[in-house]
Amino acid sequence: MGFKRRFILGLAWRVGLLLSAAFLFVYSLDMEGLGAARLLAALLCVGAVAGLWRFIQRTNVELARFVDAVRFGDLSQNFTHRHEGSGFSEFGEALDQGMRRLRDERHRLSDDTRFFEAVLDDAPTALLTVDGDGKVELANKAARRLLVRHSGVRIEDFRDYGDAFANSLADATVGRPKLVPLTLDSVPQTAMVSAATVHRLGSKVRVVAVQPIQGELNAVEIAAQSDLVRVLTHEIMNSMTPVTSLAQTAATLIAEADTGGDPLIADARAAVETLARRADGVMHFVESYRQISRTPEVRRRVYEALPWARELEALFRASDAAAGVAFALAVEPPDLTLDADPDLLAQVLINLMRNAAEAAAAHAPEPAVSLSFGAAKSGRVRIEVADNGAGVPETLRHDIFLPFFTTKAKGTGVGLSLARQLVLAHRGSIDLVTSGSGGALFRIMI
């Protein structure tokens, strides 16, 4: 209201001055001998018109400057007109307030943008964007840490992680999350893939979330197996304990009664002693499974791989299984470090090396076993135990890690199941493939 009142007053006196000057000029035209007065009146008219024009045009100029500043994003302009009167100080202050509001809003939006960018970049789930041309971009750190094998931005470039994963990126449908096979660090895994459509710069972009869940699936599987083994061993031992005790007692009594004079008693003694030994064997067999029903306690620490691997080599060479078996050790780079429980991991590798030596010795004329350590692109450590034995048939590769499953005549089916449980307790993975010599290759990612 102050600007309006002062603007009207300023406009009124300038219009009044112009009318007065015009009246004097017209009046001087009718009077003789007033040449100087006419000139003065004409100058007053010109000055009044110029002043009135400048007074009106100043508002337009300031408004145009304000609009141009907003249009070009220059929010540093100042519109304060102090000591100019006629309401322009209020007018400039109003424009300055508008400019400050725009600056504050820009800062707020900038802060919000930085916040959401940080949330997106640090989100624990890997996020990818796929535009209408099929260009794929890794949108956050989790995606850049997870997908490190490919090079390129086309969907076809992502077939390094499996055809199913590349097909899920090409699938334009948006629906419920799907379980998709995903190959990471040369180890097959399962990932949950979901997609959503967003608008960016006038075009549609699909945002694909990739969440590997193999660790969670493994944990559920191990827990289920442990519960099953715990229940079975408990029930079997409850049933076998009195049988074993009675069989041992009967064997003792019949041994005392056997004087050697009655062949029937001798046959009964042999049968009862066989029963007692078999009952003890069953109890020992069941007891061996109780160890895989207990969750191992992992005590991780960072240590150098090379000296620790040399200790494993020494233990292997000192074992009976290593007799006549060539052994090769490789650690690359030499300063490679491991973040694991050295005791539990040693138990896994010694068991794998012993199995590899037995398989190689039973098949190859020159049996050989190798143990290698290497750094993966994902930052994890790859450990491989390979042999030149007969290998494992494709149909059995998913069964050898199951409890109770064994291909050995005298095996218990505990070793590989326990090895897998210890690796999974490290949040790692273990897989079986064919080695370069046609034998078995166990690959562990820690």
Are the CB atoms for 79 and 63 separated by under 8 Å?
A: no
For residue 411, the model assigns a pLDDT of 56
For residue 79, the model assigns a pLDDT of 66
133 is written with which tokens?
């041309």
* 147, amino acid identity: L
296 DSSP 8-state letter: P
Distance CA 165, CA 210 (A): 10
pLDDT tens for each residue of 138-190: 999 999 988 988 888 999 999 989 999 999 999 877 778 899 998 887 778 88
Q: Indicate the domain borders of the chain.
A: 2-113, 123-212, 217-293, 301-445
Distance CA 147, CA 212 (A): 11
Which residue reads 């260009």 in tokens? 135
Cα angle 395-396-398, degrees, rounded to a multiple of 5: 100
For residue 101, the model assigns a pLDDT of 87
Strand partners, 190: 181
Distance CA 40, CA 46 (A): 10
Is the pLDDT at 428 greater than 80? The verdict is yes
Which residue reads 């045009």 in tokens? 57
Q: How many CA atoms lie within 13 A of 143 on its CB side?
A: 19
Using CA atoms of 262, 266, 267, 272 in order, give the dihedral in degrees to the nearest 10.
140
254 is written with which tokens?
């019949």
Residue 262 — very low, low, confident or very high, per pLDDT cuts 50/70/90?
confident
55 is written with which tokens?
């007074």
Are the CB atoms for 44 and 21 separated by under 8 Å?
A: yes
Distance CA 116, CA 422 (A): 39
For residue 303, the model assigns a pLDDT of 96
Q: Which of 76-80, 124-128, 285-289 has the highest mean pLDDT?
A: 124-128
235 DSSP 8-state letter: H
pLDDT tens for each residue of 307-321: 999 999 999 998 888
Nearest residue to 126 (alpha-carbon basis) of 215, 208, 218:
208
For residue 72, the model assigns a pLDDT of 79
Please name the fold of domain 301-445: Heat Shock Protein 90 (3.30.565)
For residue 165, the model assigns a pLDDT of 93
CATH superfamily of 123-212: PAS domain (3.30.450.20)
- Tell me whether the CATH fold assigned to 123-212 matches the one assigned to 301-445: no
Those residues with Cβ within 8 angstroms of residue 72's Cβ, 6 or more apart along the chain or in another chain: none
Residue 57 — very low, low, confident or very high, per pLDDT cuts 50/70/90?
low
Q: Which carries the bigger pLDDT value, residue 212 or residue 292?
A: 212
pTM of the entire structure? 0.58
Mean pLDDT score, 19-33: 70
For residue 98, the model assigns a pLDDT of 83
